[in-house]
Amino acid sequence: MNGIISALKQNEPRASRADVIFSTAHKAKGAQWKSVRLSEDFHNVWESAVTVDPYTGEAFYHLPDSEELALQYVAATRAETILAHKGLLLKAKEHIKIVRSEKPLSRSLGK
């Protein structure tokens, strides 16, 4: 990945003149762009917030680490107009709804 980033920087090293900017969420703090596309690695945060009982196959949902949630918030709020997230926000909403439900929810492993 570093090789790709180095090659891209050789084309236009100044962010103010670049057509596309690649950034980590950490480095994006405080920045704003008209359009932001989140990478798919943010989906892993929600997938890892499911614990499967190895004996029953039941899945139990919990909230991800607060630092990971804060990082997703930072990344998502960098967009001024367009946020492309491949369903990440819907996944988060559904996951939180399950966690907040009063009755325990589970699903079979593999379903």
- pLDDT tens-digit readout, 5-41: 677 667 766 777 777 888 888 888 889 999 998 887 7
Q: Hey, where are the domains in the chain?
A: 2-100
Give the distance, in angstroms, between the CA of residue 8 and the centroid of all CA atoms in the same chain. 23
Q: Is the pLDDT of residue 110 over 80?
A: no
Q: Is the pLDDT of residue 108 over 50?
A: no
Give the C-alpha separation, 43 to 31, whole Å: 22
The confidence band for 43, taking pLDDT boundaries of 50, 70 and 90, is low
Q: Which amino acid is at 16?
A: S
**Helix runs in 1-111, H state only:** 2-11, 25-28, 43-47, 66-76, 88-100
Q: Is the pLDDT of residue 69 over 70?
A: yes
Question: 2: burial class by Cβ within 10 Å (0-12, 13-18, 19+)?
Answer: exposed
Identify the residue whose tokens are 């949902």.
61
